[in-house]
Structure formats: structure tokens, C-alpha cells
């Protein structure tokens, strides 16, 4: 790994999705010998699944994932693993993405070793350290040590300016996740999704996507899913598709309230390509996830955000998303709003809230 200028770090599936477009662009411009894709293994199976979707391989993998790991143990493993790697070879830049434990600890390790940190998707803020946890703390930590901040939106850029980040270090680029979404939708839809959608449409129903996994929502999920079940039953023209996240935070509530309903398809976790193509056919989305808010909004789909806060207020301000929280009545009203708003072709609306598909090129220009 000698003489490499850019190390692009990934630890989870969302990081792969948003880093690979930049990896492709840097390799195209500077050659493979100048760029390395470094994995932490924070989410081993999902990481490998996402890499496979794009047809890329890690140059180095810390393999930190262990049984019963905690945030502290995984943090220590990233710090120690990168510290050992930096003793053998150092890039000029370490590029981290978003707000994961991998990103925050890798940025800190690079800072301590004298490696410049670039932050892809900088400036997202909920201004609540408990929501989302630990992501809000992670991204603020990265902002302290980063030399280059690639802000996806003007709101993100303003947040960084308000925190005292020098304007000359902030670059408005758009979100590389939209680059990945557009690339993926140009590929053929996976057969698994085509078959699932055929089942839904043959039943005369319209698909609605649910994603739920946030640890801070665990206590509220029983009431949330009970409300969701009542809504689906009262709207027989809808079919709810729920891929179960591997962390199983929502699985008990889902099995209790949703598993017996004919309108509900509870399926194993699906890969990124399947998610994008499924999303593109849905009426609306109900989620406590992050990146899917960007993807759904870009496709013009109404988004019901079941979280106390969101760091993606741009979609709410544009009127294509609602911050429902976890209160059952608020969630019910927000789902009704989403159903009434419907798919974008009914409204003739195109959205470009989070990017135009050329973010990786802009970031590469600055690097």
C-alpha cells in the first residue's frame, strides 16, 4: 500500500454505498495504485454484500467485528487497527463518510497519526446527542479534525460555518448516495424484487416500504407497530413490505403486530440494489433510517420519518417528508398524509433535494 494518496474508509453498508462512487472517480482520475479501499468490518455481512453489488474489493480489512461487541470495543478496535496500519504506510488523505463509529474513530486515528481527514457528507446535524445515537456525536467529532468538509446541501454547509469551520475548507458537493442511487437504477431490477412486486400488484395492492432498526426507538416500537398494523388493515389497497434489519431491534414488535396480516410481507434483509428498485415502485416510505430519507425524497416519494429528530430537514422543508416522531397519533396522521400525497407521477414532481448524481466528481475536483 505504499505511495497511495487516498484511502477511502468503509465499515458499514451505507458507507460503501456513499463511498464507492468517489472510489470509482478517484481511480479513474489517478489510477488504482494511488487509491485504496480500507474496510473496518464493523458490519461484516452487510459490508461484503454492498461491495459485491458494486463489484469492488477491499485492499485492506481490519475485521473488527466480534461477537457481543459494544460501541466501546468496536471503537478501540478501529483505533488500534488503523494505528497499526499507519505504522506500515500512510496516505496523504483518509476519506471517511457520514457518522458511523468506524468513520469517527478512523478520523481520530488519522488525526493522531498526522494524516489529513476528508469528510464525505459533512455538516448533517440533529442538535440532539441522543437522537440519533451515537451518530450525532460521531459526526461532530469528525468535524473537529477534518481538513476538508464535503457538505451535501446548503443547510449542511451553513451548520459547519455556524460551528466555526473555515469557509475555505467547506465544499458544497451534493450527496454521493444519489450518485449511487442513479447508477443502481440504471441496472436491471433483481428478479427477487420483480417477483415480490408482482405478488403485490396481482393482489390489486400498492406497495409501501417500512424500514425500522434504530436502537433509541426500541421502547416505542410496540406502540408504533400497533398503529401501523391498524392503518394497514384500514387501507386494504396497501401492502406493507418490511425487510427485517439484521440487528433485530424491531423484530419482536413486528412479529407481534404485523406477522399475521395478509397485507404484510416480512422478508429477510435485502441488499442495496433490491432496496433501490423496490423503493422506486413504492407509494411511500415509513422509516427511522437515515439514507433512505435521501433516496426516497430524490424519487419524489412521501417519507414518514419515525424519529424524534432528523438531520435531513431539507426534505421536510420541501414538503416531501414529515417528521412524525414516535407518537402513535402523529404517525397515523403522517401515514394518512403520505397516502393522500401519493407517488410523484400523480403530481408531476421531480426532486433534486440532496444531489444531482455528480457529487463524486465535485469531491474529486477538490481533492
Please tell me whether the overall predicted TM-score, pTM, comes out greater than 0.85 for this model: yes
Residue 10: predicted pLDDT: 96
Under 8 Å between Cβ of 292 and 211: yes
Sheet of strand 303-305: strand arrangement: 264-268, 238-244, 206-211, 285-287, 303-305, 321-323
Residue 348: predicted pLDDT: 63
Catalytic residue among 15, 25, 121, 281: 121
Closest CA to 235 of 205, 203, 202: 205
245 is catalytic: yes
Residue 41: predicted pLDDT: 81
347 is catalytic: no
Catalytic residue among 28, 215, 248, 347: 215
Catalytic residue among 140, 245, 265, 332: 245
d(CA 102, CA 41): 9
15 is catalytic: no
Catalytic residue among 213, 307, 312, 362: 213
Residue 362: predicted pLDDT: 98
Residue 252: predicted pLDDT: 85
Computed from CA positions of residues 21, 27, 28, 32, in that sequence, does the dihedral angle turn out positive or negative?
negative
Residue 157: predicted pLDDT: 98
Catalytic residue among 135, 281, 283, 314: 135
pLDDT digit string (tens) for the chain, length 367 residues:
556 899 999 999 999 999 999 999 999 999 999 999 999 987 777 788 889 999 999 999 998 877 888 999 999 999 999 999 999 999 999 999 999 999 999 999 999 999 999 999 999 999 999 988 999 999 999 999 999 999 999 999 999 999 999 999 999 999 999 999 999 999 999 999 999 999 999 999 999 999 987 767 677 788 888 999 999 999 999 999 999 876 667 788 888 999 999 999 999 989 999 999 999 999 999 998 888 999 999 999 999 999 999 999 999 999 999 999 989 999 999 999 999 998 888 766 667 899 999 999 999 999 9
Query: CA distances (Å), 208 to each of 67, 212, 344, in order?
Result: 34, 13, 14
Catalytic residue among 99, 136, 281, 283: 99
Residue 207: predicted pLDDT: 97
135 is catalytic: yes
215 is catalytic: yes
99 is catalytic: yes
What domains can you pick out in the chain, each with its CATH number? 6-172 (3.40.50.2000), 191-346 (3.40.50.2000)
Amino acid at each position: 500500500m505504499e505511495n497511495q494518496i487516498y484511502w477511502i474508509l468503509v465499515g458499514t453498508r451505507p458507507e460503501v454505498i456513499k463511498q464507492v462512487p468517489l472510489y470509482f472517480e478517484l481511480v479513474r482520475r489517478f489510477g488504482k495504485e494511488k487509491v485504496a479501499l480500507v474496510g473496518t468490518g464493523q458490519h461484516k455481512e452487510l459490508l461484503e454484500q454492498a461491495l459485491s453489488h458494486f463489484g469492488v474489493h477491499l485492499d485492506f480489512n481490519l475485521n473488527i467485528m466480534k461477537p457481543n461487541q459494544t460501541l466501546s470495543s468496536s471503537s478501540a478496535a478501529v483505533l488500534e487497527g488503523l494505528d497499526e496500519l499507519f505504522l506500515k504506510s500512510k496516505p496523504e488523505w483518509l476519506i471517511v463518510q457520514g457518522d458511523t463509529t468506524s468513520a469517527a474513530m478512523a478520523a481520530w486515528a488519522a488525526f493522531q497519526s498526522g494524516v489529513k481527514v476528508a469528510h464525505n457528507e459533512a455538516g448533517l446535524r440533529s442538535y440532539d446527542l441522543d437522537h440519533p445515537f451515537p451518530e450525532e456525536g460521531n459526526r461532530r467529532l469528525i468535524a473537529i479534525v477534518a481538513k476538508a468538509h464535503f457538505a451535501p446541501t446548503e443547510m449542511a454547509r451553513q451548520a459547519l460555518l455556524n460551528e466555526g469551520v473555515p469557509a475555505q475548507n467547506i465544499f458544497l458537493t451534493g450527496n454521493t448516495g444519489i450518485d449511487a442511487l442513479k447508477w443502481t437504477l440504471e441496472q436491471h431490477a433483481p428478479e427477487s424484487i420483480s417477483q415480490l412486486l408482482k405478488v403485490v400488484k396481482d393482489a390489486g395492492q400498492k406497495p409501501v416500504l417500512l424500514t425500522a432498526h434504530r436502537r433509541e426507538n426500541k421502547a416505542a416500537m410496540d406502540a408504533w407497530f400497533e398503529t401501523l398494523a391498524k392503518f394497514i388493515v384500514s387501507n386494504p389497497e396497501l401492502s406493507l413490505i418490511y425487510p427485517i434489519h439484521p440487528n433485530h431491534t424491531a423484530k419482536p414488535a413486528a412479529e407481534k403486530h404485523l406477522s399475521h396480516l395478509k397485507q404484510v410481507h416480512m422478508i429477510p434483509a435485502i441488499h442495496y440494489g433490491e432496496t433501490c428498485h423496490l423503493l422506486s415502485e413504492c407509494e411511500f416510505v415509513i422509516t427511522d433510517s437515515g439514507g433512505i430519507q435521501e433516496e426516497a425524497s430524490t424519487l419524489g416519494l412521501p417519507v414518514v420519518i419515525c424519529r424524534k429528530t432528523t438531520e435531513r430537514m431539507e426534505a421536510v422543508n420541501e414538503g416531501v417528508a414529515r417528521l412524525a416522531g414516535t407518537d402513535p397519533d402523529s404517525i397515523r396522521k403522517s401515514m394518512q398524509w403520505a397516502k393522500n400525497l401519493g407517488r410523484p407521477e400523480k403530481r408531476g414532481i421531480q426532486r433534486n433535494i440532496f444531489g444531482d448524481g455528480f457529487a463524486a466528481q465535485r469531491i474529486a475536483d477538490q481533492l
